[in-house]
Amino acid sequence: MASVIDTLPRLPVAEALPALGTALAVGTRAVLSAPPGAGKTTLVPLFLLGEAWRGDGRIILLEPRRLAARAAAGRMAALLGERVGDTVGYRMRLDNRVSAKTRIEVVTEGVFARMILDDPELPGIAAVLFDEFHERSLDADFGLALALDVQAALREDLRILVMSATLDVERVSALLDHPPAIVSEGRAFPVDVRYQDRPAGERIEDSMARAIIEAHRQESGSILAFLPGQAEITRTAERLDGRFGAETTVVPLFGNLSQKEQDAAIQPTSAGMRKIVLATSIAETSITIDGVRIVIDSGLQRLPVFEAATGITRLETVRVSRASADQRAGRAGRTEPGIAIRLWHAGQTAALPAFTPPQILSSDLSGFMLDLAHWGVSDPAALRLVDQPPAAAVEEARNLLRLLGALDAAGALTPAGKRIRELALPPRLAAMILHAAQDGEQVPAARLAVLLTEQGLGGPAIDIEERLRRFSNERGERAEAARRLAQRMADGFGKATRSAASMPGALLLHAFPDRVALQRGGRGRFVMANGRGAELPETERLAGAEMIVVADLTGQAGRQRILAAAEIDRAEVEAGLAEKIVREDQCVFDRPSRQVRARKVVRLGAMILEETPLPRPSGPKAALALADGVRQLGLQVLPFSREAAQLRDRIGFLHRSIGEPWPNTSDDALLAALETWFVPFQETARGIDEISSARLQDGLMALVPYEVQRDLARLGPTHFEAPTGQRHPIRYDGDEPVLAIRVQELFGLKQHPSVAGGRLPLLLELQSPAHRLIQTTRDLPGFWAGSWRDVRADMRGRYPRHPWPEDPAEAMPTTRVKPRGT
């Protein structure tokens, strides 16, 4: 093979190959960083074919996308003068081209994860190469963690190489225990980076179309334009329609296109022809589009973001990272010197994030957690991952897998879970096929599952029935491959026994039991079994359906938009989910009337299928429902008497100043503890207006541990007894206790009044005889000795009939005026 290497093109990465060969000859791990266009995807696997340690073992090259995998295999095979499937082949979900002669297998990252999970010893495999690892897909992170596990426990001879053009070398090297890090500095050809700031408010397709037309007029060569998604590509193509002559073609490149259409977009043009490729991030890495010397970058990308709180994944348009911007610019220098035009201000580049966020931080982890359980691990922290997944997403995944019957209460894989994992589908859809097979309906279920996982099959309709009809009649290599895949899945369950298949809604019940939805609130508005609302455009046929099953939706909580659904009737729901349907008597709070109502309900999750009114209730259940009403309306609806409000303030003051065991009586704390202090004391109330004020006071006192209740009067007294014998209320509603009192009532007092066993002084609001504030103090003796003189001088003229002695500390306290004539 060394002679073959000598005939390969001298791409920049070639200078790093000797160091790489040495690193993998004396060790089993290495990291390679090489800029875009350096040739690492093509040359490194071919170079490693000639290494002695390989023996006759295969080299596995991981690529993030199918297009990149096919392109890499095709380019390596061409350099060897062979067909794909000979020395170099590829393996992916809908297409395999390998043979007994294949020694380099280019696989998508998801395929490799299943390879290693199904056979951890990786027999016959000498090396695993993680290409474009900077993209940090969930499958790549997981695959690397598994490979490191296997290398440590089963295959000490397995070589692991992580490579990328824009790699966070330090973090990845640390994960791999700091193996040799080889850096290739060269670039295939220089790229001139230019900036064209997009006017504020202008649509990206307008800016992109203008930049393409200008670059086409001023420069030679083909153009690769990066846009965030299919919709922007379509709108840009519309703006370019008719703007160029017959020598220029405009072609799209995105994930929903067929393999033939994608391959056509990256094929070299004929002599004298130019091409304008409008692409998503699919063209960012590992492919070369011959003839492209101009890249125009919108600076935008569309990323999936999973929200554990809603259980849905939505697409979000965000700025690209600096690493992605560099990758995109590098596409212009693959075959000749190029130009990269960025549609943003140069100063904005420094503000871009360094790397695209790893998928593990924002993905649905149900499939990941299922595979983890198969690996014998329940906690992701047990794996060597660059980033650990969020705890909320992990728990959401576990809950879903339990709902589907794939995990038991201890988190271990169930027999059903093993079958679900074997199907290589999202767990929801695999569970659907497993259940359908019990009724002999695995074929339609498998077709439905493939339809929902392969973007673009059957068209973009929201109505899944319509998409299935189109898919059944769809011709083309991709549709045929998808149907063959579905048949292979179904064949794993034996021969189908049902000739008439259920409608898709009935099948989807077992994939999305939490997303069965009932029309509520008008046409196109639905509430799902998980309690969340979702909407359809009113013009959709499904908008008038009484019940649907939602297979895909997007948007944030409260504004979720249905992307794919199928109609279903109640009889099918009750038959398919009989074990999940609950019939019960309920006490609920009716917010408009502020009353507790009772009803007999038939429900699926939070979705009420049927309800019948019952007589108004009382007792513990009514009190619990009333507590729910208080939470909805807020604590201010409770009729606290003056005494109850003061008691609450006193207890809260002691909590703030002393702490335990005095309970917290803030709004949030009391709302959280309604079952403790409110419910047991309000069992006769059936509405907000019937809540007992006296019983509220009893409930508050019940929060105070019995052994310290007797200390409440001593530590937080309700009143202060003045030297005159008068009792004055103490306020505890602020940061410190406050006593408002006429100054004459404190004459003769030589110590400052305090509470909490003398630890906390009262804030004295000293008042005039007319109860107007004249001074505040926390040091009464200091006030007598100090500013009293100024107060006395001012007050004597205003209130001559009241005593204003020179030395109030020695005077007699009084509530009276001086006798006339004195």
Q: What's the pTM?
A: 0.72
Domain boundaries, the chain: 2-183, 191-360, 381-507, 631-714, 717-810
- Token code pair at residue 409: 């209460």
pLDDT of residue 1: 45
Nearest to 519 by CA among 541, 546, 538, 550: 546
Greatest mean pLDDT range, 122-131, 274-283, 448-457:
122-131
Distance CA(618)–CA(624), nearest Å, equals 10
Mean pLDDT of the chain: 89
Q: What is the pLDDT of residues 91-119, one digit of tens each?
A: 988 788 999 999 999 999 989 998 999 99
Contact 166, 327 (CB under 8 A): yes
pLDDT confidence of 308, banded at 50, 70, 90? low
pLDDT confidence of 208, banded at 50, 70, 90? very high
Q: Is residue 3 predicted with pLDDT exceeding 50?
A: no
pLDDT of residue 311: 66
Would strands 181-183 and 595-604 be described as parallel, antiparallel, or unpaired? unpaired
Q: What is the pLDDT of residues 742-798, one digit of tens each?
A: 999 999 998 999 888 788 899 999 999 889 999 999 999 999 988 899 899 888 888
Among the ranges given (60-69, 365-374, 459-468, 555-564), the one the predictor scored with the smallest mean pLDDT: 555-564
pLDDT confidence of 355, banded at 50, 70, 90? confident
pLDDT of residue 370: 94
Contact 43, 1 (CB under 8 A): no
Give yes or no for a cis peptide into 504 (omega within 30° of 0).
no
Instruction: Provide, rounded to the nearest whole percent, the portion of the chain with pLDDT above 90.
Output: 54
pLDDT of residue 323: 85
Q: What is the pLDDT of residues 504-535, one digit of tens each?
A: 999 999 999 999 999 988 899 999 998 889 99
Phi, psi torsion values for 549, nearest 5 degrees: -115, 125
What CATH number was assigned to the domain covering residues 2-183?
Answer: 3.40.50.300
Q: What is the pLDDT of residues 388-413, one digit of tens each?
A: 999 989 999 999 999 889 999 888 99
Nearest to 445 by CA among 502, 494, 405: 502
Q: Is residue 714 predicted with pLDDT exceeding 90?
A: no
Q: What is the pLDDT of residues 27-51, one digit of tens each?
A: 999 999 887 777 889 999 999 999 9
The arithmetic mean of pLDDT across residues 433-439, rounded, is 91
The arithmetic mean of pLDDT across residues 38-67, rounded, is 92
pLDDT confidence of 194, banded at 50, 70, 90? very high
Q: What are the C-alpha distances in Å from 108 to residues 51, 72, 111?
A: 24, 11, 5
pLDDT of residue 767: 92
Spell out the residues 6+ positions from residue 70 whose beta carbon is closer than 8 angstroms to its own.
84, 90, 92, 95, 106, 259, 263
Distance CA(373)–CA(264), nearest Å, equals 41
Would strands 96-97 and 88-91 be described as parallel, antiparallel, or unpaired? antiparallel
Identify the residue whose tokens are 């390596």. Answer: 76
What is the residue-wise DSSP string for 718-741?
SEEE-TTS-EEEEE-SSSS-EEEE
Helices (H) and strands (E) in the chain, counts: 29, 31
Q: What is the pLDDT of residues 140-161, one digit of tens each?
A: 999 999 999 999 999 999 999 9
- Amino acid identity of residue 716, one-letter, is G
- Token code pair at residue 509: 């019940």
- Amino acid identity of residue 221, one-letter, is G
Among the ranges given (166-170, 628-632, 653-657), the one the predictor scored with the smallest mean pLDDT: 166-170
Which residues are 533's β-sheet partners?
527
Per CATH, domain 191-360 is 3.20.20.140: no
Question: Is 191-360's fold the same as 381-507's?
Answer: no
Nearest to 204 by CA among 363, 318, 46, 103: 318
Spell out the residues 6+ positions from residue 587 whose beta carbon is closer than 8 angstroms to its own.
596, 597, 598, 617, 621, 622, 624, 625
Q: What is the pLDDT of residues 490-500, one digit of tens each?
A: 988 887 666 45
Signed CA dihedral, 63, 66, 71, 73: sign only = positive
What CATH number was assigned to the domain covering residues 381-507?
Answer: 1.20.120.1080
The arithmetic mean of pLDDT across residues 434-452, rounded, is 91
Contact 24, 51 (CB under 8 A): yes
